[in-house]
Amino acid sequence: MNGAQHILDAFHRHGISTVFGYPGGCIMPLYDALVDDVGTEHVLCRHEQGCALAADGYARASGQLGVCIATSGPGATNLITGVANAHRDSIPMLVITGQVPSGLIGTDAFQETDVLGMTLGIVKHSYLVDSADELAAIMDEAIELAQSGRPGPVWVDIPKDVLLASAPARSCEPEAASAAKTASATTDISEAMTMLRSARKPLLYSGGGVSLAHAEDSFREFTQTAALPSVVTLKGIGNSGKHSAHHLGMLGMHGSRAANRAVDECDLLLVIGARLDDRATGKLDTFAPNARTIHIDADAAEINKLRSVDLALRGDLNGILQAMTTEFKSAPLAISDWQTQCRTWNTTGGFSAADNEEPLAPITGPAFVRQLSRIAPDDTVIACDVGQHQMWVAQHYQFDHPRHHLSSGGLGTMGFGLPAAIGAQFADRRSTVINVAGDGSFMMNAQELATIRRYNLPLKMIILDNQCLGMVRQQQELFYSNRESQINLDDNPDFVAMARAFDIPALHIERTDQIRRGIETILAYDGPMLLHVAIAREENVWPIVKPGASNREMIDETKKRTTTAQREHVA
C-alpha cells in the first residue's frame, strides 16, 4: 500500500467511518485513495474551519474521535481555529494535513507552512512523517493518544511524497487501549469521605470532564445517592439531568445567584472534572473563601493549577464515583438544613424569565429559549454559537444529558455552532439537532448552508437576530460608559432569503404569539429549515459579573438601572 492507503487502513482498523475534509494539492493522494475506498464517509465542508468544527461537534455528540483533513498551506492554517477550540475543551480529534514534498520543506515552496511550529500550543501532540514505513504506526499511536487520558487533538502532517510512497501492509492490529483507565479502581477515597462527612455545607461543582471520561451514568448515580447541592460549568450543563432536585444551575460570570451564593457559603467544594476556569470562578481569591477543596480529575496538570486543594484524587472518574456512591448508599449525609437552604436560594435566585403572553409583544431571548426547551424532544442536541444567545441557552434550556449541549467553552469561537451541528447530525442522522445562533456568529460560517443542503441534513437553524454583536455591546454599555464601537450589524442580509438561496425553507417571527408556531413548524419539517427570530437590540444577559470581579458582585437588571440612575443624578 502507499501512504495514503495506510491512512484509510488505519481508519478501518480503528472503526473510523466519518471524516470531514477539503481537498487540495498536497493531500490529493489521499483523496485519490478515497475514490476506491469502501467504509469511509467523507463529508465535504465548504471551508477548512468548518471541517475542524464539524469534527469537533461530531466528537462531542458521539463521544467518538472526530477526524478532519486538509491540504498544506492555507488548508492547514484554516483548520487552526477549530483545532484550538478542540484543544481548549479537550475534544478528541485527529487532524491530517498534506505537506509539500520532503525535499521542498524549508524552501518556502508553494503552499508550504510550518504546521508543527504554528500548532505547538493547540495540540496534544503532532507529527511530521518522514517515511511511509512509519506512517501506519504513527496513525495507530495518534488515534490512541487523541482519545486516552485527557483527550485532545493530535495533528499528523504528511509530505506528499510520503503519501505516494509504498510501504508494507500493517502486519498486526493496534495495541489495546492503555490500562491506565482502570488504575483508579484502587484509589483510596477514605480521606475524601471523611471530609465530606465532617462538612456541614458541602457543594458539588462539576464540569466537562464528566462526559470526557464517559462517566455520565456513574455521575448521575452518584448525585442521586449523595444528594449534594450542585453547580456546573458551561461544559458541565446536563451532568445532573433536568430533574435533579438539588441542582442550582451554572455558576460564574453569567451563572445564577443561587449557584454563586452556594459557592460563596459552602464549607467544602467537591470539584469533579472541572478546571476552575476564570469565567466560572471570577476573582479567584474570593471564590469559595470558606471551603476546603477536594479535586477529582484525570489530568494532574489541573490539580493545584489555580487553587491549592486540600485533597486530590487523580484517575478515572467512573471508578472513583462508583466507590463513593457505594459509601453514600451505606451511610447518607445528614445535611438536610443545607439542602433546604440551597433549594430556597434556587427558588428566589435561580434563572428566571417572564414568559410574556402579550400577543403583540416583542420576543425576548430568554422567553424564546424557555419555549424551545418545553417544545423540543428531551434528546434534542443544541449546538450553540458564541454570544448572548449562548448564555440564554445555558441559563434557560433544560438539558438532560451533557452531550445534548454543544458549546464552545474555553476558546469562545464565534462560528462554532453551525458546523458543530453538522458534525452532531452526522453522528446520528436520526436525532433532532438544532443550531442556535446569533446574527453575528451565524455569518462566521454561513457557507456551511451548502453542506447542509448537499447532504440534505434534517438540521434546524435558529437565528436570534438583534442586528448587533450583542455580548460586546452589552459589555460596552455596562463597563465602557456605553461607548459603542464596531458592533452595529443593521446591514445584515435577509436571512430567510439567504436560506432559500440554498434551497432551505425558512420562516421569520417577531412577536411572542408566533414563537410556538415557529418552533413547532421547523421541528415538524422533514428536512433542513431555518427560523429567523427578531429580538430587541438592547436586550442583555442577566445576571453578569464584570470580568475580573468577584462572583459576589453580580449585576442584574435592577441593579444596573439603579447604578444608571445614580450616574445621571450625579451628572
By the 8 A CB rule, do 44 and 22 touch? yes
CA distance 404 to 401: 6
Q: Considering 49, 147, 160, 425, which one is annotated as catalytic? A: 160
- Please state the φ and ψ torsions of residue 433, each to the nearest 5 degrees: -120, 130
- Please state the φ and ψ torsions of residue 345, each to the nearest 5 degrees: -60, -40
By the 8 A CB rule, do 49 and 423 touch? no
Q: Considering 41, 110, 538, 557, which one is annotated as catalytic? A: 110
Q: Which three cell numbers stand for residue 366?
A: 430568554
- Please state the φ and ψ torsions of residue 292, each to the nearest 5 degrees: -80, 160
Q: Whose grid coordinates read 462566521?
A: 444
pLDDT of amino acid 181: 43
How many C-beta neighbours within 10 Å does residue 177 have?
A: 10
What string of DSSP letters covers 198-252? H-SSEEEEE-THHHHTT-HHHHHHHHHHH---EEE-GGGTTTT-TT-TTEEEE-S
By the 8 A CB rule, do 253 and 279 touch? yes
Q: Which three cell numbers stand for residue 274?
A: 472541572
CA distance 246 to 371: 23
CA distance 187 to 164: 48
Residue 211 burial (C-beta neighbours within 10 Å; 0-12, 13-18, 19+):
buried
By the 8 A CB rule, do 303 and 309 touch? yes
Q: Residue 93's closest CA among 151, 23, 51, 11?
A: 151
Residue 486 burial (C-beta neighbours within 10 Å; 0-12, 13-18, 19+):
exposed
Q: Which three cell numbers stand for residue 317?
A: 472518574
Q: Considering 471, 498, 529, 554, which one is annotated as catalytic? A: 471
pLDDT of amino acid 559: 62
By the 8 A CB rule, do 274 and 280 touch? yes
Instruction: Enumerate residues 6+ apart whose C-beta is below 8 A from 561.
Output: none
pLDDT of amino acid 354: 57
Render pLDDT for 492-530 as a digit per residue (tens, 0 to 9): 999 999 999 999 999 999 999 999 999 999 999 999 999
Helices (H), 376-514: 388-396, 417-427, 439-442, 449-454, 470-479, 495-501
Query: Is 160 marked active-site?
Result: yes
pLDDT of amino acid 353: 60
CA distance 542 to 395: 10
Q: Considering 48, 216, 302, 539, which one is annotated as catalytic? A: 48
C-alpha distances in angstroms, 462 versus 178, 384, 393, 515, 530? 42, 10, 12, 12, 6
The H or E element containing residue 86 is helix 74-88
List domains and CATH numbers for the chain: 3-172 (3.40.50.970), 186-349 (3.40.50.1220), 365-540 (3.40.50.970)
Residue 565 burial (C-beta neighbours within 10 Å; 0-12, 13-18, 19+):
exposed
Strand-pairing partners, residue 8, are: none
Q: Considering 1, 28, 64, 111, which one is annotated as catalytic? A: 111
Residue 133 burial (C-beta neighbours within 10 Å; 0-12, 13-18, 19+):
middle
CA distance 73 to 71: 7
Residue 236 burial (C-beta neighbours within 10 Å; 0-12, 13-18, 19+):
buried
CA distance 158 to 303: 36
Q: Whose grid coordinates read 442577566?
A: 542
- Per-residue pLDDT of the chain (571 residues), as tens digits, is 999 999 999 999 999 999 999 999 999 999 999 999 999 999 999 999 999 999 999 999 999 999 999 999 999 999 999 999 999 999 999 999 999 999 999 999 999 999 999 999 999 999 999 999 999 999 999 999 999 999 999 999 999 999 999 999 876 665 554 434 434 445 789 999 999 999 999 999 999 999 999 999 999 999 999 999 999 999 999 999 998 999 999 999 999 999 999 999 999 999 999 999 999 999 999 999 999 999 999 999 999 999 999 999 998 899 999 999 999 999 999 999 999 999 999 998 888 765 666 778 899 999 999 999 999 999 999 999 999 999 999 999 999 999 999 999 999 999 999 999 999 999 999 999 999 999 999 999 999 999 999 999 999 999 999 999 999 999 999 999 999 999 999 999 999 999 999 999 999 999 999 999 999 999 999 999 999 999 999 999 999 999 999 999 999 886 665 555 445 444 4
Query: Is 110 marked active-site?
Result: yes
Query: Is 471 marked active-site?
Result: yes
pLDDT of amino acid 316: 87
